[in-house]
Amino acid sequence: MSIISDFNDEEKEKVLEDLTSNVKQIQDDLLKEILTLNSGTEYLQSFLHGSSSKELFKKNLPIVTYKDVKPYFDRVANGESSDVISALPITNVFVSSGTSGGANKILPSNNKFLDGYAFSNDLLVHIISKHVKGVERGKGMIFSLTGHETKTPGGLPIESSTSWYLKSDYFKNRPSNWFYSFTSPDEVMLGSDIKQNLYCHLLCGLVQRDEVMRIGSTFASGMVRVIKVLQDSWKELCSNIRSGYLSEWITDSGCRNAVSMVLGGQPRPNLSDEIESICSQKSWKGIMKKLWPQTKYIEAIITGSMAQYVPTLNHYCDDLPLVSTTYASSESIFGINTYPLCKPEDISYTLMPNISYFEFIPVEEGSDDVVDLADVKLGCSYQLLITNLWGLYRMRIGDMLKVTGFHNKAPQFRFMGRENTLLSIDTDRTNEEYLFKALNRATLVLESSDLRLVAFTSYADISSSPGHYVIYLEVKAKNEDIRDLKFDEKTFLECCLVMEDSFDDEYRYCRSNEFVGPLEIRVVNDGSFDSLMNLSISKGTSVNQYKTPTCITSEKGVQVLETNVVARFFTLSIKPNHSM
Ligand code: AMP
């Protein structure tokens, strides 16, 4: 993979053109490189017997799930030589959040992953500056966080991919352009206390509020969390800005020293007054734009399970574009959005053919031939498989993608959801795609009643017979003056109905035969989903990677929500508890 950070715009455009025009050749060359390099590994040797032929790869190598290859990963993590799976040394183990699809996974990795990460960032620098004029004139207030590192029994560091990148030389020696210029000193990103780090990120961003051109967090859920911290701490932030000194509870020494330098002991009473007068306004609609008036866009992943946060972000950010740049995982960087200013519902990602070798299993029945990236068809849906330079071969990622178009010859994919069934009571099998469809329709019903969806999750309740689907919803009034929210039965009944109506024929068959009971909406208190996130983070999930589970399986998580239920509505009968 070439290093393109020093290229000028014209050269970077050429790289993008080449990448997207020569998909087949680049993918075939990459597969050849992977197989030639790794043919002697124990894993490949057992299927390919030293060959690096594509034909043999397609014929002999099994398509696997994470569970199938976990024993190999465990051996490397426990101290055996990397060449069980990879010719290049495995230097790191990533822990994937797993919150969107089950248990946490541990995945082998090495610098090749970061090459892909840095490469896609460098392309994004070019793409975004092409679309967002003037973005290079200021800084980014980017809420990057590191979190704790542990070690495998064999001594390999275990952390999230984002953490590793921030601690690596790639970040330390990053190119000096607008994309890598931040309001926060590196120490704020590298600290290990999330509460302190988020507070300091905000403080640095407020002090330099006129320089902020973009605001970002990896996932939309992280951005919503930032806004909550702002709501809880703006008075204290203002007092720090007024005095020029940082609150005593910021004890992380690296972070404390670096932020104290930003404040410089200089009192800023005028700035503090301005921020105070904005934050004390009754309505926080558009607050981000008011506090950071030069901001050109908000950067966060808003597709898949993150789509539920779009109404909340639109509320606080007003008409600022929401830019969802990257589709990636702990397994690999997959693709980037080459049209960053498109509407949320039009977001697609162009897979980068030089980062990993991609294959696709068609979702449509009757077509089970695995196809290459260059052979996917417009309008068809696929499950993604990955083969890469750091020990993964034909592994299912668990995501479903639909081809929506092409950038030159490179297919663009819409993220449809995780492939696994989420909810199932009888022979019904409801996956994320259907759940999102149902939720989109319910969101419209809520909006027509002046309510805004804050967060949701689902649960298959089989404690009574027949079992039924439960949808937990946290909602707010669009008009923030309304604190004493009344839950209109008609609205929620309508939500139940449109949701059930969105599920597939099998679900409806089960419902009409009473194999599945009426869908239930349980409305939960303000802040319940924050408590759920805190629970997950307390168990070691990185805050950067946390995703609200679209289906909740953990008993403790269900308990958190259950203690906060304030109203219940069923498709056929309505049983409100009381109103907030
Ligand atoms: P993790 O390995 O914990 O970072 O989780 C990776 C998973 O997050 C992917 O396999 C997707 O299911 C989801 N994900 C990552 N990027 C996006 C995106 N841009 N849109 C939707 N889902 C995403």
Pick the atom of ligand 1 nearest to 301's CA: 19
Residue given tokens 């083969």 in the structure block: 387
Ligand 1 atom 23, closest CA: 327
242-246, 286-290, 348-352, 362-366, range with the lowest pLDDT: 362-366
pLDDT of residue 265: 95
Instruction: Count other C-beta atoms under 10 Å from residue 578's C-beta.
Output: 7
Q: What is the pLDDT of residues 148-185, one digit of tens each?
A: 788 999 999 998 888 999 999 999 999 999 999 999 99
Pick the atom of ligand 1 nearest to 349's CA: 19
Q: How does DSSP classify residue 374?
A: G
Provide the percentage of residues in the chain whose pLDDT is more than 90. 76
Residues framing ligand 1 (Cβ under 6 A) = 96-97, 100, 301, 303-304, 324, 327-330, 397, 399, 415, 418, 545
The radius of gyration computed from the CA coordinates of the chain, to the nearest angstrom, equals: 24
Taking residues 123-135, what's their average pLDDT? 95
pLDDT of residue 506: 85
Taking residues 79-107, what's their average pLDDT? 82
H, E, C per residue of 105-143: EEEEECHHHHHHHHHHHHHHHHHHHHHCCCHHHCEEEEC
Ligand 1 atom 16, closest CA: 327
Read off the tokens for 290. Answer: 């008011």
Q: What is the pLDDT of residues 505-518, one digit of tens each?
A: 889 888 988 889 99
Q: What is the pLDDT of residues 117-128, one digit of tens each?
A: 999 999 999 999
Q: What is the pLDDT of residues 55-69, one digit of tens each?
A: 999 999 999 999 999
Ligand 1 atom 7, closest CA: 329
Among 120, 159, 301, say which to mutate for ligand 1: greatest number of ligand atoms within 8 Å of CB.
301
The answer to whether the beta carbons of residues 198 and 288 sit under 8 Å apart is: no
520-524 β-sheet, strand order: 451-461, 468-477, 520-524, 565-570, 574-575
More confident residue, 430 or 33: 33
The answer, yes or no, to whether residue 350 has pLDDT greater than 80, is: yes
Span from the CA of 171 to the centroid of ligand 1 (angstroms)? 22
Helix axis angle for 194-207 and 220-243, nearest 10°, is 60
Q: Which of 262, 238, 232, 236 is nearest to 248 (CA)?
A: 236
Pick the atom of ligand 1 nearest to 324's CA: 19
Span from the CA of 327 to the centroid of ligand 1 (angstroms)? 6
- What's the Cα-to-Cα distance from 477 to each of 182, 319, 449, 530, rounded to whole Å? 34, 19, 9, 18
Q: What is the pLDDT of residues 425-453, one digit of tens each?
A: 887 889 888 999 999 999 999 999 999 99
Span from the CA of 309 to the centroid of ligand 1 (angstroms)? 15
pLDDT of residue 98: 53
pLDDT of residue 366: 66
Q: How does DSSP classify residue 74?
A: H
Q: Where are the domains of the chain?
A: 9-65+330-418, 133-295, 422-575
Give the burial string for 292-328 (b: 16+ CB within 10 Å, else e): bebbbbbbbbbbbbbbbbbbbbbbbbeebbbbbbbbb
Q: What is the pLDDT of residues 448-478, one digit of tens each?
A: 999 999 999 999 998 887 889 999 999 999 8
The answer, yes or no, to whether residue 484 has pLDDT greater than 80, is: no
Ligand 1 atom 19, closest CA: 327
Alpha helices per DSSP H over 247-309: 253-263, 269-279, 287-291
Pick the atom of ligand 1 nearest to 96's CA: 3
The answer to whether the beta carbons of residues 42 and 85 sit under 8 Å apart is: yes
Amino acid at 338: T
